[in-house]
Amino acid sequence: NAGVTQTPKFRVLKTGQSMTLLCAQDMNHEYMYWYRQDPGMGLRLIHYSVGEGTTAKGEVPDGYNVSRLKKQNFLLGLESAAPSQTSVYFCASSYSGGGSVLTFGAGSRLTVL
């Protein structure tokens, strides 16, 4: 049982480049989330989805886009990467909202030079 899988685990980008982080879950969860973790900042919600075909903005959505074309996948895109987007990104999923326990992936470390 893989749970939540994130790819890639590490990536280095130059300013202005684009990339997509992929999150896949095999638990048939309805809700999926993208967080970023920065030193001294805790976990901040970027975007989330309450079901296939839906997305919503979180606390820090600027500079990111997301898509949920399939229930099991949630993609996070950076169209024009900036050094401020250097961070560790975590994907999570939950069976429902309203306090359901989140299952997190192992994280993707992104460095933008």
Partner 1 sequence: DQQVKQNSPSLSVQEGRISILNCDYTNSMFDYFLWYKKYPAEGPTFLISISSIKDKNEDGRFTVFLNKSAKHLSLHIVPSQPGDSAVYFCAARSYGGSQGNLIFGKGTKLSVKP
Stretch that binds partner 1, among 11-19, 32-40, 62-70, 71-79 (CB under 8 A): 32-40
User: What pairs with residue 24 in β-bridges?
Assistant: 5, 73
Out of 21, 24, 31, 78, the only residue in the binding site for partner 1 (CB under 8 A) is 31
Residues 6+ apart with CB under 8 A from 113: 12, 13, 14, 15, 83
Phi, psi of 7 (to 5 degrees): -135, 145
The interface mask with partner 1, positions 73-92, x = CB under 8 A, is -----------------x-x
Which residue shows structure tokens 């075909």?
53
| 112 counts as binding partner 1 under rule CB under 8 A | no
| 58 counts as binding partner 1 under rule CB under 8 A | yes
* Cβ closest to partner 1, residue 16 vs residue 57: 57
Out of 2, 28, 42, 62, the only residue in the binding site for partner 1 (CB under 8 A) is 42
| 107 counts as binding partner 1 under rule CB under 8 A | yes
Phi, psi of 85 (to 5 degrees): -95, 5
Residues 6+ apart with CB under 8 A from 72: 24, 25, 26, 28
Structure token pair of residue 34? 């993208």
Question: Applying CB under 8 A, which residues contact partner 1?
Answer: 4, 31, 33, 35, 40-45, 48, 50, 56, 58, 90, 92, 94, 96-107
